[in-house]
Chains A and B, each alone.
Chain A
Amino acid sequence: MSVLVIAEHADGALRRMSWEAVAAGQELARALDIPCSAAVAGHNVSALAGELSSARLERVYAVEHQLLDAYTPDGYARAFELLVRHAAPRFVLLPHTYQVRDFAPKLATRFERVLLSDVIACRVEDGKALFTRQLFQGKLNADVSLGGEPPYFISVQAGAWRADQVSQGESQAETFVPELAAGAIRTRPEEPFQEAKRAVDLSTAELIVAVGRGIQDKDNLHLAEDLARALGAELAASRPICDNTWLPMERQVGSSGQTVSPKLYVAVGISGAIQHLVGMKGSRTVVAINKDPDAPIFDVADYGIVGDLFEVVPLLTAELRKAKGG
């Protein structure tokens, strides 16, 4: 009974989040005193399996099939279902990527198990594994246990474990060829693409003012625009603002938008859901203005103003103009 980590790859290389999942798997395996293995699926994956083998793992499975060349939920769920039946792990760990979100619930359901998704920490108490998840967009944490017999399925949040914490060592390679039928794959994926070149590149911006749900109405956006102008900053937004088409999608910061690392990031009325934080936590100095003192954004902020943004932001804009003028 081991921990099995399912790695993901893109453009011929393992994704960084796969290494984070390996680090999580190794940690869990150490705590339970059981071995850790890993798997990678695709067509011609021996090089990727070789890359995984640099980690200290009991076994690395190269799940090899022509039908796994392009990702499909039917193909991947079936291939990993067969692998899990073959390897019989106690825990299956996956990185919480969009692809995993697409197939892992299907995989877990085949074992009558729920996928415990987006886990940020794990620990073992009296032989029982407890996993920490964020609820209510990060406002509360929950320690969750899993009932019934193994296997248990867990996906781990980006950045919750560190890729450089992977223990290096040796592992044994095994090629696993699942029996897959082309007729059982019902979705036909086309080539991934990017939208036309972005007019706004926030990734190189030095100063950013980002606005969130707290702004309440499109008519209030000028408050953030004025602040951005006074600072000489780019204007950005969290997802809900772009969903409402108050600002174009290209100004969105977060997991589905741009990743930024300015020297100053001013978050106005942004509560700080994880999807937003992953896009901006590389910022050097973060200022948060929010009426809710418990908002998760204050966890990543250097300076916080707890208060009504409609009152504070115009005053801040005026102060900045004064400071620049003087």
Chain B
Amino acid sequence: MRILVAVKQVIGRDAPLRVNAARTWVEENDATFEINEPDAYALEAALQLKEKHGGEVAVLCAGPERAAKTIREALAKGADRAVHIELPEAAALDALGTASLLARAAEAEKPDLVLTGLQSDDLGLGQTGVVMAERMGLPHATIIMEIDFRGAAVRVKRELEGGWFQYVEMPVPAVLTIQSGIAKLRYATLMGIKKARSKEIKTLAAADLGIPSHPAAVIERLYMPPRARQAQIVEGTPQEKAARLVDKLRTEARVL
């Protein structure tokens, strides 16, 4: 089976965020980047499907040159090859723009399954997979916890809200957005890292994909959220903080 995994490179979770001078995005110069975590789970699900059913896993990523590092890491974990849609630095694309590019590139790969994370850790629009499915004319299911590939069809377990689930079956090819936690993430082995160096990365220029531009969602202003409820910050040495907090919980909040 042919599995295509769409991954995104995002600013690292622990990286400090500084709003840029134009207040439209964050400073990326001193940022660290990593694979979007939900996409890491999509990759893991794809690798496990390949181990079970055979075939290949290709990684698809739209991003500037630096995204190549994330692609290499995916190859080191076991993906067979990759397609990198090169975007200019800080391309102002929203989910529709990016997903349209991804869909165009994905069509050429003729995958049986397209997997991607349910949302990105930066923009968090949560729709890349669904828009790809619509663009590619494929059925989809979102927030998937389990994948049972049955050749001509796939049966998946969808997470609903409040601890409810649902099985859904659909014909393949299909697009699935993967919930974090679907499987335990693997680490790249030294052998995997070595092998990754010789794996193919096909580079496409975004402009060559022939996607017409469309009116985008524009970030007019980016800022620190106003503080909703100011927490009382307990000060002092670590020892004093602990003692003062316990005292406040007993005498002020009266919850002990």
Q: A residues bordering B, Cβ < 8 Å?
A: 73-74, 77, 97-98, 101-106, 108-110, 112-118, 130, 133-149, 186-195, 198, 207, 213, 231, 239-240, 242-245, 249, 255-259, 263-264, 284-288, 293-294, 296, 298-308, 311-312, 315-316, 318-320, 323
Q: Are A97 and B219 in contact, CB atoms less than 8 angstroms apart?
A: no
Chain B residues numbered 220-254 whose CB sits less than 8 Å from any CB in chain A: 220-229, 231-234, 238-239, 241-243, 245-246, 248-250, 253
Q: Which of B50-58, B63-71, B119-127 forms part of the interface with chain A?
A: B119-127
CB of B180 within 8 A of chain A? yes
CB of B255 within 8 A of chain A? yes
| Contacting residues, chain A, for B171 (C-beta < 8 A) | 186
Q: How many A-B residue pairs have CB under 8 A?
A: 257
In angstroms, Cα B125 to Cα A115, docked, is 8
Return the contact of A186 from the options B170, B226, B248, B249 (Cβ within 8 A).
B170
Known: A187-B168, A299-B229. Is A102-B130 also a contact (CB below 8 A)? yes
Q: Are B164 and A110 in contact, CB atoms less than 8 angstroms apart?
A: no
CB closest chain-A residue, reference B242: A315
Q: Are B166 and A106 in contact, CB atoms less than 8 angstroms apart?
A: no
In angstroms, Cα B125 to Cα A104, docked, is 11
| Contacting residues, chain A, for B169 (C-beta < 8 A) | 187-188, 190
| Contacting residues, chain A, for B180 (C-beta < 8 A) | 239-240, 243
CB of B202 within 8 A of chain A? no
- Cross-chain pairs A/B with CB under 8 angstroms, 12 sampled: A101-B127, A102-B130, A130-B220, A140-B19, A144-B219, A144-B220, A186-B170, A189-B167, A190-B169, A239-B180, A302-B229, A304-B232
Q: Are B223 and A141 in contact, CB atoms less than 8 angstroms apart?
A: yes
| Contacting residues, chain A, for B26 (C-beta < 8 A) | 136, 140
CB of B2 within 8 A of chain A? no
In angstroms, Cα B181 to Cα A298, docked, is 26
Q: B residues bordering A, Cβ < 8 Å?
A: 11, 13, 17, 19, 26, 37, 41, 94-97, 118, 121-127, 130-131, 133-135, 139-143, 159-171, 179-181, 184-185, 214-229, 231-234, 238-239, 241-243, 245-246, 248-250, 253, 255-256
Q: Are B130 and A144 in contact, CB atoms less than 8 angstroms apart?
A: no
Min CB gap A256→B, angstroms: 6
CB closest chain-B residue, reference A141: B225
Known: A112-B214, A190-B166, A258-B163. Is A304-B130 also a contact (CB below 8 A)? no
| Contacting residues, chain B, for A207 (C-beta < 8 A) | 255
Return the contact of A315 from the options B97, B216, B233, B239 (Cβ within 8 A).
B239
| Contacting residues, chain A, for B168 (C-beta < 8 A) | 187-190
Min CB gap A303→B, angstroms: 5
In angstroms, Cα B135 to Cα A106, docked, is 9
Q: Are A190 and B219 in contact, CB atoms less than 8 angstroms apart?
A: no
In angstroms, Cα B140 to Cα A195, docked, is 23
Return the contact of B121 from the options A116, A137, A312 (Cβ within 8 A).
A137
| Contacting residues, chain B, for A74 (C-beta < 8 A) | 139
Q: Are A114 and B95 in contact, CB atoms less than 8 angstroms apart?
A: yes
Q: Are B231 and A320 in contact, CB atoms less than 8 angstroms apart?
A: no
In angstroms, Cα B233 to Cα A263, docked, is 19
| Contacting residues, chain B, for A142 (C-beta < 8 A) | 219-223
Known: A73-B140, A114-B96, A257-B163. 4 other contacts (CB 8 A): A113-B214, A141-B226, A240-B37, A319-B246
Return the contact of A101 from the options B126, B162, B170, B241 (Cβ within 8 A).
B126
Q: Are B227 and A305 in contact, CB atoms less than 8 angstroms apart?
A: no
| Contacting residues, chain B, for A109 (C-beta < 8 A) | 96, 130-131, 134-135
In angstroms, Cα B180 to Cα A196, docked, is 21
| Contacting residues, chain B, for A73 (C-beta < 8 A) | 130, 139-141
Return the contact of A304 from the options B134, B139, B233, B239 (Cβ within 8 A).
B233
In angstroms, Cα B155 to Cα A58, docked, is 42
Q: Are A144 and B217 in contact, CB atoms less than 8 angstroms apart?
A: yes
Q: Are B127 and A140 in contact, CB atoms less than 8 angstroms apart?
A: no
In angstroms, Cα B232 to Cα A53, docked, is 44
Min CB gap A142→B, angstroms: 5
The 5 closest A-B pairs by CB, nearest first: A148-B215, A147-B215, A243-B181, A105-B127, A315-B242
Min CB gap B41→A, angstroms: 8
Min CB gap B99→A, angstroms: 8
Return the contact of B245 from the options A106, A188, A192, A287 (Cβ within 8 A).
A287
In angstroms, Cα B126 to Cα A133, docked, is 13
Q: Are A187 and B139 in contact, CB atoms less than 8 angstroms apart?
A: yes
Which among A146, A296, A305 has the greatest number of chain B C-beta atoms within 10 A? A305
Q: Are B139 and A118 in contact, CB atoms less than 8 angstroms apart?
A: no
| Contacting residues, chain A, for B164 (C-beta < 8 A) | 192-194
Q: Are B130 and A105 in contact, CB atoms less than 8 angstroms apart?
A: yes
Return the contact of A140 from the options B17, B160, B165 (Cβ within 8 A).
B17
Q: Are A285 and B142 in contact, CB atoms less than 8 angstroms apart?
A: no
Q: Are B222 and A140 in contact, CB atoms less than 8 angstroms apart?
A: yes
In angstroms, Cα B232 to Cα A320, docked, is 19
Q: Are A287 and B249 in contact, CB atoms less than 8 angstroms apart?
A: yes
Known: A140-B26, A294-B224. Is A188-B170 also a contact (CB below 8 A)? yes
Known: A145-B218, A186-B171. Is A106-B159 also a contact (CB below 8 A)? no
